[in-house]
Amino acid sequence: MVGEHLGHHQRADLAERIRIGRATAKATKRAERKKRVTAVSSSRWAGAMTRASEDQYLLSMRVLFAERATLRRAIRAINRRLTAPCGKRAKNGVRGYADPIECFQK
């Protein structure tokens, strides 16, 4: 029962943090969020939950940006290979796709 109670408030705090979005440390309203959670639990639990929400949000944003960068690198690599002639290397050393069928699929 305690886990369900705290989990409900943890999820609510994380949802609030996500609604706030990208913001400076002061604009995340952590103190206000902690006060709201403290009303239904202890101050210690409230602090742990708001810190966990902040950490989880920041980690997910770092992973999201890293994934976006990886996809952009893959797109650049595909574009370089598409500009190279099929089955040959371009002047800059980039190898083209093996045949026109593979090139068309990309």
pLDDT at 60: 94
Residue 87: predicted pLDDT: 84
pLDDT of residue 70: 98
pLDDT of residue 83: 87
Convert 7-24 to b/e letters by CB count within 10 Å (16 or more is b): eebbebbbebbeeeeeee
Q: How many domains does the chain have?
A: 1
pLDDT given for residue 62 in this prediction: 96
Q: CA nearest 86: which of 106, 62, 66, 57?
A: 106
pLDDT score, position 76:
93
Residues lower than pLDDT 70 in the chain: none
Say what the pTM is.
0.73
pLDDT of residue 65: 96
CB 106 within 8 A of CB 78: yes
Q: What angle do CA 25, 28, 33 make, to 5 degrees?
A: 130
φ and ψ at residue 74, rounded to 5 degrees:
-65, -40
